Amino acid sequence: MEKKTANWACWGFGCLVDIAIFIAAVLILDADASVSFILYMIMLAIPMALVRFFLFSETTPAWLRVCLGPLGAIVCIVLAATVPLDLSSDEQGESEPSEKVEAPKGDRGESAAPTESVEDVLAELDSLVGLEGVKAEVKRIVNLAKVNEARRAQGLKVPPMTYHMVFTGNPGTGKTTVARIVARAFRALGIAKGGQLVETDRSGLVGRYAGETAVKTNAKVDEAIGGILFVDEAYQLASSDNDDYGKEAIATLLKRMEDDRDKLIVIAAGYTDEMRDFLDANSGLRSRFSKTIEFSDYTAKELAAIFRSMAKKNEFVLAADLEEGLDAAMAKLTAKRDRTFGNARFVRQLFEDATGRQANRLAESGNLDADALKTLTLADLGIGERKTDVRAPSIDDVLAELDSLVGLKPVKNEVRRLIATVRANKMREEKGLENNVTMSYNFVFTGNPGTGKTTVARILGKAFRALGVLDRANFVETDRSGLVAKYEGQTAAKTNKLIDSAMGGILFIDEAYQLNQGENDQYGSEAVATLLKRMEDARGSMVVIIAGYSDEMKKFMAINSGLESRFNRTIEFPDYSARELAEIYRSMAKKAKYRLSDDVEHWLAPYISMLTEKRDKNFGNARWARNLFEKSVERQSLRVTDLKDPSAEELVTLRLKDLGVKLKDPDASDED
């Protein structure tokens, strides 16, 4: 009985020693070795149990029975450290890399070779046109990862690292291409063992009904485990404060980024301003996406280099005229860009259009020899074939409309001077002369209400369209309410959206001084800052006109030095004289098919002079004249309906009493 008790005691003590060694090994070994150690222990557990119970006898020394467990644990530790078990193929699926990992040439349907080195990947990065800042930043990140992996291999401590990134920039600047290269570089370094790049956007993460969003987001993350999840236009996940589905997708993504931090890399991409607002929408986003890489627009020379690369890749050669004139042609074609400009996508479309024109040219000429089939000429770019708006009036028609306005002589002179400058610049360009003077076409219109500011702005838009300064005839009119949002973080998005709608045309901001309502007006200041940045980014792609009272606009311009530098042309709109207001009244009557009686013609100007003698800055000018005309029509309607059988002429005649004030003719009797 005592021997059995001793045997059980030895066995129990041995188990306790086993457990202690087991816990110590798990704590000491890294994650991969710990998993291997546990698996080896499980595999040795049954043989060790059989040895203990069937091969050992009561005469077996107690120390041997106690040491059996630790001995097995030590064997498992050595095996785990030297021959770790690799289950990555079981977890990831052997067929997945062939579907998702980018090939060295960037073809999404092929997998990168397992032997691809990080140097090969970086060489491909260097082969990309432009993107010098991007290349330097990517190399810095890759070098940091490379050194960390070397430290890990030497058994040195590696500081915790996250490789989540934000790519900002306009469309077609290479964000997706660089993301694929980063995925392959990380695979070569062993950081992203799968190496796949899973591309998605809001539609791939957000569901259509409650409860579906988390499921969709988790499924997309599962697909990217071991590689990179690339979320394009990620800012759309935080489109508004009421977007509960978008918030759920963000929360789910953040949790998975934390839970799977060693298995998942996320790259979020989109426009610069929108991505800044996106990161501010949730404190967890800013803390997890600590690296931001800005992708600048390509220069005209870089776009020309991309065109040459596309031609070479598709076995085309450039004729001498195209080779010599491509840079200048590209500069001309891309002179008016906005943030929606497609960059490399624009070049791809240009190349495809050029090959289409070449095909038509060769088919019509019948010249289908080998040299002709692979040669692109300058004419194939189609410069000069840009579609024009058939509804756009000629500049002479625009000037005639300007001259038809009542009064505004100083305004007309200023507009004519501006139009003459634009026409002269075009003449110089047509003669092949250089024009080194950069013109600014943003304006401040100052004056009281109803002085024609909006009307002249529309005419100016037509003139710029006719002269080719603007691509479109759109005229977007707004005020503070159209730019400033009700909630924090929404003003920039609202302002950008309105500016986007005005691209290629004119943005007219009435009462612009209301964007500054004091030092604490953060929303107004944000709208102004957003406007100024977009004006700089889209220089030459739109015209901005801000308008308001003279004194208020002077104060508004003084709040921000950027306003004075960008709005360097001010046109003052004077009040209309009584005689000009009378002429506006006559014009309204004529347009509405009314005629004025002789007494109205005689007394109209003096009557208006009397009524407008005491004006202030709130006087409505042309709006006042319209109001007077409309009330005259109302009184005339009451008068003619009291007549028994008014003639057709009487029905359209405005008489003195219709003006609403009885005037005394000096030649008439007191009774009259």
Question: 292-317: per-residue pLDDT in tens?
Answer: 989 888 888 899 999 999 999 999 99
Contact indicator for 440, 545 with CB cutoff of 8 Å: no
Angle separating helix axes 578-591 and 598-611, nearest 10 degrees:
130
Sign of CA dihedral 471, 472, 473, 478: negative
Whether residue 199 sits in one domain with residue 291: yes
Q: Given this model, what pLDDT does residue 222 score?
A: 92
249-263, 410-424, 655-669, range with the lowest pLDDT: 655-669
Whether residue 638 sits in one domain with residue 503: no
Whether residue 504 sits in one domain with residue 460: yes
Angle separating helix axes 622-641 and 578-591, nearest 10 degrees:
50
CA atoms within 13 A on the CB side of 294: 7
| In a domain? residue 668 | no
Show the domain range for 597: 581-659
CB environment 414-427: b (16+ within 10 A), e (fewer): bbeebbeebeebee
Of 381, 416, 437, the residue at which a domain comes to its end is 381
| In a domain? residue 353 | yes
**Nearest-CA neighbor of 449 among 549, 516, 579?**
549
Q: Residue 268: pLDDT band by 50, 70, 90 thresholds?
A: very high
Contact indicator for 35, 83 with CB cutoff of 8 Å: no
> pLDDT tens across 429-446, in order?
777 666 666 667 888 999
| In a domain? residue 671 | no
CB atoms within 10 A of CB 467: 16
298: its two tokens = 């390509």
Which H or E run contains 614? none
Average pLDDT for the chain: 79
CB environment 342-370: b (16+ within 10 A), e (fewer): ebbebbeebbeebbebbeeeeeeeeeeee
Whether residue 424 sits in one domain with residue 372: no
The Cα–Cα gap between 405 and 266 comes to: 60
| In a domain? residue 587 | yes
Whichever domain contains 289, its CATH number is: 3.40.50.300
- Virtual CA dihedral for 599, 600, 601, 605, nearest 10 degrees? 120
Whether residue 525 sits in one domain with residue 415: yes
Span 635-645, mean pLDDT? 86
| In a domain? residue 549 | yes
Which H or E run contains 240? none
Whether residue 265 sits in one domain with residue 116: yes
Q: Given this model, what pLDDT does residue 50 score?
A: 61
35: its two tokens = 């998993």
Amino acid making up residue 400? A
14-18, 483-487, 499-503, range with the lowest pLDDT: 14-18
> pLDDT tens across 514-524, in order?
888 777 778 88
Of 381, 409, 439, the residue at which a domain comes to its end is 381
Q: Given this model, what pLDDT does residue 89 score?
A: 36
Place of tokens 């073809």: 107
Whether residue 590 sits in one domain with residue 512: no
Q: Residue 384: pLDDT band by 50, 70, 90 thresholds?
A: low
Strands, E assignment, 34-160 = none
Q: Given this model, what pLDDT does residue 364 score?
A: 86
Contact indicator for 474, 505 with CB cutoff of 8 Å: yes
- 273 alpha-carbon distance from chain centroid: 7
Whether residue 141 sits in one domain with residue 75: no
Question: Angle at Cα 390 formed by Cα 386 and Cα 394, nearest 5°?
Answer: 100
Whether residue 276 sits in one domain with residue 235: yes
Q: How many domains does the chain have?
A: 5
Whether residue 550 sits in one domain with residue 479: yes
Is residue 243 over pLDDT 80?
Answer: no
Whether residue 315 sits in one domain with residue 289: no
Whichever domain contains 329, its CATH number is: 1.10.8.60
Whether residue 277 sits in one domain with residue 185: yes
90-94, 226-230, 311-315, range with the lowest pLDDT: 90-94
Of 573, 598, 613, the residue at which a domain comes to its end is 573
The Cα–Cα gap between 13 and 569 comes to: 93
| In a domain? residue 389 | no
| In a domain? residue 390 | no
| In a domain? residue 386 | no
605: its two tokens = 């100007």
